[in-house]
Amino acid sequence: MSSSLVSVIIPTFNRAYCLRRAIDSVLKQTHHGVEVIVVDDGSTDGTQELVRSICSTENRVRYVHQANAGVSAARNHGFALANGDFVSLLDSDDEWYPWKLSVELACLNFVPDAGMIWTDMDAIGPDGAVVRQKYLKTMYGAYQRLGDRVLFDRQWDLGDVMPDRPAELGGVRLFAGEIFSQMILGNLVHTSTVLLRRDRLNLVKGFDLNLKVSGEDYDFHLRTCREGPVAFLDASSIRYQIGMDDALTRPECVIHLALNNLQTILRVLNNDRARIRLSDRTINARLASSYSWIGQAYLDIGETRKARPYALQGLLHNPYHLREWKILISSSLPTRLRNRVRDLVHLLKHRPKT
């Protein structure tokens, strides 16, 4: 397993200011068998010069330029060029801990039916300091929707999987199993933490180019889980960048994330409902949440007319949930009154305790 080649795909667009850190974090892996494929999605900020300078001294790094077509096209371009038996994805503003690939490869060797493994992550601010350890379950609300549902049917202590594990990973557990149904409740996988077997990637094919701007990750990981068992290591293997101006979590991007989320769910329910082991009540609650998320996203950018039909659809799926009613009522109020109500609610929530 130590000789396995891992192809690492790094899509990037105008991130010369942080790209070197991402590349260096791959080159410093304790697993040395890597090829780094940097796919430049039409950058204009000196990215080409930066990566070509790295390539001049490091033959494990390849630079590919394409006309701007989005992150999904860039990742798919990288997939097409990858030579490894394993493929990993790294966003250009994130960094890996040095042991990431070695440990993930050991885990996949231990669980041969798992086609993918992912991990937790530490969130870092613009200054590079860790602001939140094990950030995965904070960022992805699907973990809260799962409640007390069992996600995996198998688990092991990492010490039994990898006796020579890094010292900082004492007490860490590895989990594995079929989680396609649970993934219907929302994305559980963070892309920069993922390692995929080539044969699983061949089944999934790639990212859906029709899902624009944001939210393409959920569809990809959901289809990956559809094809068989996956694994999760309960440790942070990356430093995940938050708080930057070009992040896709900005309010104007959230609407695309919410719309793509709904499109993904509707498509999989239409194609695979018989395979999904969730009750109709749970499915309706999930759809209600998805519709109301779009409604709230439109409210947040001031497009109230577009918010109303989504809030109404949320109510049709779950008429007893307060959130959908709040969004519907808010979208029906004049802008000035809605802002006053919002400010009043904020004051009541933050009033001094007596």
* pLDDT per position as a tens digit, 94-148: 999 999 999 999 999 999 999 999 999 999 998 889 999 999 999 999 999 898 7
Residues 326 and 200 both lie in one domain: no
Q: Domain containing 65 — which CATH number?
A: 3.90.550.10
Q: Is the Cβ–Cβ distance between 42 and 12 less than 8 Å?
A: no
- Residue 312, in any domain of the structure: yes
The answer to whether residue 353 scores a pLDDT higher than 80 is: no
Q: 286 or 331: which carries more pLDDT confidence?
A: 286
CB 315, CB 288: distance < 8 Å:
yes
Domain end position, chosen among 209, 241, 273: 241
Domain region containing 276? 251-349
Question: Nearest Cα to 74, choosing from 9, 7, 5, 8?
Answer: 9
Whether residue 258 sits in one domain with residue 191: no
Lowest mean pLDDT among 49-63, 278-292, 329-343: 329-343
pLDDT for the residue numbered 222: 98
Is there a domain that residue 246 lies in? no
Q: Are residues 47 and 193 in the same domain?
A: yes
Question: Do 78 and 131 share a structural domain?
Answer: yes
* Same domain for 233 and 266: no
pLDDT band with cut points at 50, 70 and 90 for residue 248: low
Domain end among 241, 276, 292 = 241
Domain identity same for 147 and 255? no
In-domain check, residue 105: yes
Residues 54 and 197 in one domain: yes
Per the structure, the count of domains in the chain is 2
Instruction: Give the list of residues 6+ apart from residue 161 with CB closer than 8 angstroms, or none.
Output: 106, 107, 110, 174
Q: What's the pTM?
A: 0.90
d(CA 14, CA 245): 12
Residue 323 lies in a domain: yes
Structural domain contains residue 1 = no
Task: Looking at the structure, tell me whether residues 136 and 25 fall in a common domain.
Answer: yes
Predicted pLDDT of residue 253: 80
Between the two ends of the chain, the Cα-to-Cα distance in Å is: 63
What value does the mean pLDDT take over residues 319-331? 73
- Please check whether residue 354 lies inside any domain of the structure: no
| Nearest to 19, CA basis, from 42, 44, 40 | 40
| Position 22 pLDDT exceeds 90 | yes
Same domain (yes/no): 179, 227: yes
Same-domain status, 41 and 148:
yes
Domain of 341, CATH number, reads 1.25.40
Among residues 189, 81, 174, the alpha carbon closest in space to that of 139 is found at 189
User: 278 in a domain, yes or no?
Assistant: yes
Over 70: is that where the pLDDT of 268 sits?
yes
Is 176 within the bounds of a domain?
A: yes
pLDDT at position 198 over 90: yes
Are 56 and 161 in a shared domain?
Answer: yes
* pLDDT score for 31: 98
Q: What is the pLDDT of residue 344?
A: 58
- Domain boundary, last residue among 241, 273, 305: 241
Q: What's the pLDDT band for 343 if we cut at 50, 70, 90?
A: low
* Cα-based distances in Å from 67 to 38, 206, 253, 299, 329: 14, 19, 21, 34, 44
Q: b/e per residue, 159-187, with b = 16+ CB within 10 A?
A: eebbeebbeebeebbbbbbebbbbbbbbb
Q: What percent of the chain has pLDDT over 70?
A: 89
Measured between alpha carbons, how far is 228 from 179 in angstroms, rounded to an integer? 8
Residues 70 and 208 in one domain: yes
